[in-house]
A and B are shown apart, each in its own frame.
Chain A
Amino acid sequence: MTIEAREAPLPGLGDAEIVFDVQAFSAYYGAFRALKEITFQIREHQITAIIGPSGCGKSTLLRGFNRMNDLVQSAHSEGHILYHGVDLYAPQVDPVEVRRRIGMVFQKPNPFPKSIYDNVAFGPRVAGYKGDMDERVEQSLRRAAIWDEVKDKLTTPGTALSGGQQQRLCIARAIAVEPDVILMDEPCSALDPVATLRIEELMHELKQNYTIVIVTHNMQQAARASDVTAFLTMGDDRAGYLVEMDTTDKIFTRPEHRLTEDYITGRFG
């Protein structure tokens, strides 16, 4: 059986090219089902926010996009995630190649305990980049809006930076391999409001070149920073499922579902 990307675009989500086509994706940890038949699409050069209560599987879904769940021994999945029409879970797909194209920024800033330069250069190096590394590092740091703060101390350890700077360094590190998509798993949860705002502004600039998927606990962040919002919640079996997905504007002003409305207005979760 061949899998084909569905034709009809979801209403209100524009007609940009589909980057991820999630088809009845379920994820398990051992016998526990964390995600139940998620189906939705993510489009190019948009910021898609995934929101929902704790434990509903937001992070599991996000980590499904770059096969990060492969690292958990008990994890397995059903259904498909098509990336530009190719099933990421097809047997011949190499997760290392997947992660080179689909970068990730984590909840807690996790720079390597190496120089700022080496933090950024590591990705291109392992990808076999043969060009001018200095230029690639500078360009990545510039795009991550941290160049001016670190250009005079590229040899100091990345771990010596402040939390907000560390997170921007991690974004620079993700950008340096020139991915197509950047996944962000609650990237601001460890940051103060000023650093958070900087990251949000940065995301806005980055979406010109990248497709961004962000998991967030912060309603205001989703409302401020994203174009499209997907709301997940979990049923009695604690398996997360998609309640609705629409433009962020519509989700936050005229949600279709009662559950969504309760969640965004703080009556739930």
Chain B
Amino acid sequence: MKFLALIKKEFHRFFHDPRLIVTMLLPGIVIFLLYSVLGEAFNGKAEARQYKVYLMGNSAVTEVISAAAKENGDSVEWLKTDDEETAREAVRKGEAAAVLKFSENFDGAEKGKVEILYDASNEASAAFYSLASAALNVYGMRFTVAAESVTGADALGVQILCNILPLLIVAFVFSACMSVTLESVAGEKERGTLATILVTSAKRSHIALGKIFPLACISMLGALSSFLGTALSMPKLMGLSLNMLGTYGFWNYFFILLLIVSVVPLIVSLIAVVSAYSRSVKEASAYTGMLMILSLVLTLVATFVPSLGNWTVAIPVLNAVVSMQALLTGTLPVWQSLVSVSVNFALTAVLVLVMTMMLSDERVMFGK
């Protein structure tokens, strides 16, 4: 009953304050609108594109790509060739959008390989690359895709989406957790309302969990709002079709959501512990800001250091980012995701325990 009363109080505090609800959900809406407008500005095209693509080898994938292009109002002209160098040169000069090179007997092979040669610095070529990547994801996963930009520019499109989206998710999750947890724990400690709860006969563990659980649920709302806003607008920003989101299967979305669900309580409990330690919201904000930077650095490591290895599952936040990146490329790293989720939940439990001990510690709660 006491535990339930604590949970209800946190929910009541949030859901009866329209300003809090707005500040929690607004980022997602603003992100969606902003990215969509930016996407339109960057990628808006006056007329339909006609991609000229050199084809080496054969595959029915070309029909899928043609269909995807048609859906966007574009068209693809396939030019068969065996002369890779000439084709490359055409892409480099901007005369062709890309070269698609299929391995022998691609459609019938156990595991085929397709290479996409394109020019990342050329808008049309980059757009075709994104289109082809998305279409290949739809086609299946029994082949490998090797993308190469002939100008050596950084890969755009799907690869950027795979790298940037987890980073943005972590940033949004962190800010959503910060906005409610700092106020609820450090704020209550500073104002003396937490001490009023400590005088009741509720167990310290119930008070700790009664804070962290509802705050995690509320933060989840904010994180999901931001996630949806980003996920729905990123393809537009990258010049991709929204349909590419449909290229991911149910389990990809399920695991991404599960990873977010595991990261939110972890971050909430981490901020709750920092807030319980701090004397004021200001002090807690300073510490939490540093933690946020640390999380983002971990995310950047995952973005820019390729093939980090299996050890990443042991590092909270980083494990979720690496798993999400893999999920967004279309693969399904089940065990990696499950271990990451378990590690995050286990650490959350440890942090709840630490919070309980802090609530019982007079130096922390009443120290000057």
Q: Do A and B come from one complex?
A: no
